[in-house]
């Protein structure tokens, strides 16, 4: 699991969360966000490419708890261009064991 520490989040006028992360080499395949209502979430880009979103801002959990999807913008780290964007459904779970030790 790759930890994403420098991500940013914006909230659209429609209340959709947009997570801006650095781009990864592979294309996402059936991405989804695993979320248990706490301070961390796991973005599954592919079955073997998981990104930990650490220490969510306090305003985000109430929105995530009520949402069924997020948007993800992957940015080029060097020139800050948008390389890809995609929607990821949220899978709400009771306990996310992948981020317990963060």
For position 65, what pLDDT does the model report? 95
Return d(Cα 4, Cα 52) in angstroms, integer.
Answer: 6
Tens of pLDDT along 5-25? 789 999 999 999 999 999 998
Return d(Cα 94, Cα 30) in angstroms, integer.
Answer: 22
For position 6, what pLDDT does the model report? 85
* 37 belongs to a structural domain: yes
Q: Could you tell me if 72 and 85 are in contact, meaning their C-beta atoms sit under 8 angstroms apart?
A: yes
* 95 belongs to a structural domain: no
The domain total for the chain is 1
* 40 belongs to a structural domain: yes
Tens of pLDDT along 29-87? 999 999 998 888 999 999 999 999 989 999 999 999 999 999 999 998 766 789 999 99
């Amino acid at each position: 699991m790759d930890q994403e520490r420098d991500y940013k989040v914006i909230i659209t006028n429609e209340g959709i969360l947009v997570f801006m992360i650095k781009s990864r080499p592979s294309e996402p395949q059936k991405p989804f966000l695993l979320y248990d209502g706490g301070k961390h979430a796991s973005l599954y880009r592919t079955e073997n490419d998981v990104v930990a979103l650490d220490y969510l801002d306090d305003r985000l959990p109430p929105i995530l708890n009520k949402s069924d999807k997020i948007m993800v913008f992957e940015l080029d780290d060097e020139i800050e261009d948008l390389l890809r964007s995609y929607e990821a459904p949220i899978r709400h779970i009771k306990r996310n064991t992948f981020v317990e030790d963060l």
